[in-house]
Amino acid sequence: MKKFSLLIAAILLTISGAMAQIYNPVKWQVASKKLNNNEAVVYIKAIVDNGWHIYGLNVPDGGPISTSFDFTASKDYTLNGKVAAPAPKSKFEKDFNMNVPYYDTKEVVFQQKIKLNKAQTTVKGVVTFMACDAQRCLPPDEYAFNVTIK
């Protein structure tokens, strides 16, 4: 009887583990391009799975979590302006009772201009984002990045 109970417990754990899914619908890539000795651009690309979307940079208060960027301060560089992004789509979401900006394309490239105080440096930061599909929204997530500018 004890062996039978252990067998049933093992089967149930296997089934529940197989049924639990870990969603990771957004992948990130980071690159940089040096424009001249004093300027560079950091490109942060979101690769969004089909059927999923992330929210724009300027979601109204009371809405879902905006995509946002937090760059680590450094003596080697300063940010030149705000993060640039393509124009998002907009739709009414009844859960939030408002129109929200979002991206549902396969790839979204965000850009941050950098003023260089040193010829070679590493730019570090974190992007915070929230991914949703037609059935669910995942909790806000973060992606830490770093990119070397030579």
**pLDDT reported for residue 18:** 44
Contact 41, 32 (CB under 8 A): yes
HSE-CB for 9 with a 13 A CA cutoff: 6
CATH classification code of 25-149: 2.60.40.1250
Q: How far apart are CA 61 and CA 56, in angstroms?
A: 13
Contact 104, 47 (CB under 8 A): no
Helix (H, G, I), strand (E, B) or coil at 5: helix
Mean pLDDT throughout 49-73?
97
- What tokens does 69 get? 């960027």
**106-150 pLDDT tens trace:** 999 999 999 999 999 999 999 999 999 999 999 999 999 999 999
Residue 39's CB is within 10 A of a number of other CB atoms, namely 15
**43-55 pLDDT tens trace:** 999 999 999 999 9
Contact 30, 145 (CB under 8 A): yes
Q: What is the pTM of this model?
A: 0.84
Query: Domain residue spans in the chain?
Result: 25-149
Q: Which residue has the higher pLDDT, 39 or 6?
A: 39
